[in-house]
Amino acid sequence: MPRLSADQRHTVAFTLNGLPVDGVAEPRMLLSDFLRQTLGATGTHVGCEHGVCGACTVEVDGMLARSCLTLAVQVDGASIRTVEGLAPAPDRLSVLQAAFRRHHALQCGFCTAGILMSLDAFLKANPEPDEAQVRDLLSGHLCRCTGYTPIVRAALEAAAELSAQDTAACQEEPAHA
Ligand code: FES
Ligand code: FES
């Protein structure tokens, strides 16, 4: 196979979970491969590699994207968030991640990173979802292990907990004179 010359490769630089990163990518390299192989960010999983299973879902500039359908060169200069960026600290899970653990919402875990990314964005936009809305969101993700019910329970419980936290935070805000 012919090697690409230097002018056919591109330096790609972006922010990954708040930190600057860069690497060299061939023009057709997928973002999923760039994250996993070049940057070693293996939390993002790759399943179908053609946009169907949702396992590779990440956030690009605040919008969900299938990293197997995105070229690395397309995200030069962007802000990328992956499952590694969900936890508030290395020794703490996010509310959603903790609910997944309590409800056994993962088995092999192959689908989990993508589902967490989608649900994290969904719960920000829909703080009080019902079960039908959560199931509708999950229709964009394939899970071969759980039967989805524990994932739905975890999502609804996380939504309730996040909503209670928001209410408590509002009540703690000092009244303006
Ligand atoms: S690996 Fe990207 S959608 Fe399946
Ligand atoms: S936990 Fe195995 S595919 Fe979802």
Q: What is the pLDDT of residues 96-107, one digit of tens each?
A: 999 999 999 999
Q: How far does residue 149's CA lie from ligand 1's centre (Å)?
A: 22
pLDDT exceeds 60 at position 165: yes
**Who has greater pLDDT, 166 or 68?**
68
pLDDT exceeds 90 at position 82: yes
Phi, psi angle pair for 47, to nearest 5°: -110, -85
Instruction: For residue 41, give the nearest of 88, 76, 81 by alpha carbon.
Output: 81
Report the pocket of ligand 1 as residue ranges, CB < 6 Å: 46-49, 51-56, 66, 68
How many whole angstroms separate alpha carbon 129 and alpha carbon 64? Answer: 18
Sequence ranges of the chain with CATH classification 1.10.150.120 = 95-169
pLDDT exceeds 60 at position 175: no
- Which three-class secondary structure string do you get for 84-117? HHCCCECCECCHHHHHHHHCCCCCCCCCHHHHHH
pLDDT of residue 177: 44
CB of 114 within 6 A of ligand 2: the answer is no
**Using only C-alpha atoms, what is the Rg of the chain?**
18
Q: Return the CATH number of 95-169, one of 1.10.10.10, 1.25.40.10, 2.40.10.220, 1.10.150.120.
A: 1.10.150.120
Sequence letter at residue 120: D
pLDDT band at 3 (very low <50, low <70, confident <90, very high): low
Give me the chain's average pLDDT, please. 94
CATH of domain 6-84: 3.10.20.30
Q: How far does residue 123's CA lie from ligand 2's centre (Å)?
A: 21
Q: How far does residue 108's CA lie from ligand 2's centre (Å)?
A: 5
Contact 132, 71 (CB under 8 A): no
Residue in 36, 44, 52 to alter for ligand 1 test, most ligand atoms within 8 A of Cβ: 52
Sequence ranges of the chain with CATH classification 3.10.20.30 = 6-84
- 79-81 and 57-60 strand pairing: antiparallel
pLDDT band at 29 (very low <50, low <70, confident <90, very high): very high
pLDDT of residue 46: 98
pLDDT exceeds 50 at position 6: yes
For residue range 124-133, what is the model confidence (pLDDT) as tens digits? Answer: 999 999 999 9
Question: For residue 116, what are its two tokens?
Answer: 């967490």
Contact 68, 83 (CB under 8 A): no
Residue in 45, 111, 119, 148 to alter for ligand 2 test, most ligand atoms within 8 A of Cβ: 111
